[in-house]
């Protein structure tokens, strides 16, 4: 049997376009590649995750029309395609195997994830059993994503005689996710001795990035094929009987798994590109400060969209150093983007003048710093509105965690590529990007970080060093450790308490932040739901 693995990028809610993509890839798999079967990702027709679109009255009619298009528009090849199934008032996360207008089998997802970024129990009813179907003399076990993350469904399929598991997936990226997936699949195979074909989608959807990495593993748990990460593709496998069960024999080589820096960088590119493109923006604008965060954001934007679609703006104040001015201009020239310099001094002076009477007798503090950030936000949002360019914010996870960011200032914008990257990771990504080609002036990476909102300001004036701050944040955010547990890891208890206090106090800011690419196991956004008002 020759099987096509359709590692494709779908668009949530674009049901007609998704369906056309299914038809086109099926025709190609049949005519050019000689496939008997082509397998698609989870909820292909609706895109994943469709969230409350599933509850819209018109969604059911569109999905049913899409299924009819699949039924009538594809012949001579079988397709296993995912879709939301409506049955009365119930919705299932389903996938069906079609051949020449006939539905050979339909599987309803049995295990519904309801943790982290997943809330499928809000929408779907679970299926009751794994589905096994005889196709071209082989018994195929049909599964959807989380079905293989628990032992029971695969064991049940094995008991029904399944010889090969076909798994369609919408599995989002985080650091080391491919390693986790393949280890999990190897566990299921060790339990059942049934090989697996695992097809994952690619693409960005709001905060989530789907990285592909579709994989075929034989009955010993060895990887026989792996699709490239973060790339669309239609890949072919020949499946044949062997002495040790069925063996998946790849027509392509096994792609390597990117290391951490490369995989995160590629996730940022894909997430940024798809968010901008799928939301209909032709270009982006961002503030370029001469610091490492905005420098990395600029590099990501250029690599994701092309220099012609990126507009960088330097907005100096009385506190902006000559170094920052020079480095921002140098990077803009290096990457070939439009570059403008708009001083905020007139706006800053005018704002202070308006507030002078009310502020009389009060000391200068963070208020004046925040006014500068908000002056910049006004200019950037004006450019976004007038020129129709999406505003990218440049802040990182470390800053967002402890509130070292200005609401309605540097937090203003439409998308935050670095939202889930700690400051330590930002530096690693900047170095990685420069290892490919020069994109960020070296001095931007080596200089001491500063917001330049007051004279001689350094980040270390307000925060612990990032090599202390970031591990504390990871322990709290990703591992849910307490103050005492984090202190037991070797950190000063007073510092830990201070950091965690800042995280909790600034939840109200994070609720108003733009979405950004999720790369960690727990990002601020979908899978972080702390109360704003709390006496804990």
Q: Which residues are catalytic?
A: 42, 109, 145
> DSSP code of 212?
B
CA distance 15 to 494: 53
Alpha carbon 48 to its chain centroid, in Å, reads 12
User: Dihedrals φ, ψ of 527, to 5°?
Assistant: -110, 25
Helix ranges (H only) for 214-259 are none
Between CA 464 and CA 52 the distance in angstroms is 41
Q: Rounded to an integer, what distance in angstroms lies between the CA atom of residue 423 and that of residue 471?
A: 11
User: How far from 287 is each of 72, 411, 440, 449, CA to CA, in Å?
Assistant: 51, 11, 15, 16
State yes or no: cis peptide before 197, omega within 30 of 0: no
The two three-digit tokens of residue 342, written as one number: 């708009």
Return d(Cα 168, Cα 91) in angstroms, integer.
Answer: 18
Q: Which residues pair with 135 in a beta bridge?
A: 138
Yes or no: say if 168 and 95 are a contact pair by the CB < 8 Å rule: yes
167 sits in the region (left: phi over 0; alpha: psi -120 to 50; else beta) called: beta
**CA of 162: how far to CAs of 91, 124, 151, in Å?**
26, 26, 14
Q: How far apart are CA 341 and CA 440, in angstroms?
A: 19
Specify the pairing of strand 390-391 against strand 37-39.
unpaired
For 364-453, list the strands marked E by DSSP: 390-391
Residue among 405, 442, 435 nearest 287 (CA): 405
In 10 A of CB 300, how many CB atoms? 26
Strand partners, 350: none
Pairwise CA distance, residues 378 & 26, whole Å: 49
> Between the CA of residue 236 and those of 28, 136, 219, what are the distances in Å?
11, 17, 19
Asked if 107 and 142 count as a contact pair (C-beta separation under 8 A), the reply is: yes
Place of tokens 């990703």: 478
């Amino acid at each position: 049997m020759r099987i096509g693995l359709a590692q494709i990028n779908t668009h949530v809610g674009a049901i007609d376009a998704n369906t056309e993509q299914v038809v086109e890839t099926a025709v190609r798999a049949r005519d050019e590649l000689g496939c008997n079967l082509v397998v698609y990702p989870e909820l292909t027709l609706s895109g994943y995750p469709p969230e409350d679109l599933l509850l819209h009255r018109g969604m059911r009619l569109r999905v049913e029309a899409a299924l009819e298009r699949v039924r009538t528009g594809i012949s001579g090849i079988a397709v296993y395609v995912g879709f939301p199934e409506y049955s009365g008032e119930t919705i299932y996360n389903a996938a069906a195997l079609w051949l020449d207008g006939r539905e050979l089998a339909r599987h309803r997802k049995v295990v519904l994830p309801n943790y982290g970024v997943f809330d499928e129990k809000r929408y779907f009813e679970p299926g009751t059993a794994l589905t096994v179907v005889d196709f071209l003399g082989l018994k195929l076990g049909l599964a959807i994503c989380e079905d293989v993350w628990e032992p029971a469904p695969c064991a049940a399929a094995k008991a029904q005689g399944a010889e090969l598991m076909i798994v369609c997936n919408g599995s989002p990226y985080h650091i080391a996710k491919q390693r986790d997936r393949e280890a999990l699949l190897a566990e299921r195979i060790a339990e059942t001795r049934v090989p697996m074909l695992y097809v994952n989608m690619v693409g960005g959807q709001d905060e989530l990035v789907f990285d592909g990495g579709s994989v075929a593993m034989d009955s010993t748990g060895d990887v026989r094929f792996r699709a490239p990460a973060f790339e669309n593709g239609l890949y072919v496998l020949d499946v044949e009987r062997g002495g040790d069960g069925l063996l998946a024999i790849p027509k392509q080589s096994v792609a390597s798994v990117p290391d951490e820096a490369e995989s995160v960088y590629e996730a940022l590119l894909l997430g940024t590109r798809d968010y901008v493109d799928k939301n209909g923006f032709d270009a982006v604008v961002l503030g370029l400060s001469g610091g490492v965060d905005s420098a990395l954001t600029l590099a990501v934007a250029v690599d994701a969209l092309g220099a012609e679609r990126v507009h960088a703006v330097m907005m100096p104040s009385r506190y902006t150093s000559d170094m920052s001015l020079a480095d921002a201009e140098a990077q803009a020239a290096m990457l070939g983007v439009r570059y403008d310099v708009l001083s905020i001094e007139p706006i800053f002076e005018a704002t202070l003048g308006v507030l002078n009477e009310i502020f009389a007798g009060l000391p200068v503090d963070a208020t004046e710093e925040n006014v500068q950030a908000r002056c910049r936000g006004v200019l950037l949002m004006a450019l976004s509105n007038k020129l129709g360019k999406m505003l990218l914010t440049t802040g990182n996870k470390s800053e967002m965690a402890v509130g070292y960011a200005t609401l309605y200032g540097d937090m203003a914008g439409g998308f935050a590529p670095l939202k889930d990257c700690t400051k330590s990771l930002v530096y690693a990504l900047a170095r990685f990007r420069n290892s490919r080609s020069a994109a960020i002036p070296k001095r931007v990476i080596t200089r001491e970080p500063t917001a330049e909102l007051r004279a001689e300001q350094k980040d270390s004036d307000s925060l612990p060093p990032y090599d202390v701050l970031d591990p504390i944040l990871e322990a709290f955010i990703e591992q849910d450790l307490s103050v005492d547990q984090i202190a037991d890891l070797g950190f000063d208890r007073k510092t830990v308490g201070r950091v965690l206090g800042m995280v909790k106090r600034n939840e109200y800011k994070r609720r108003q932040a733009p979405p950004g690419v999720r790369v960690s196991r727990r990002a601020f956004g979908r899978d972080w739901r702390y109360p704003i008002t709390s006496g804990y």
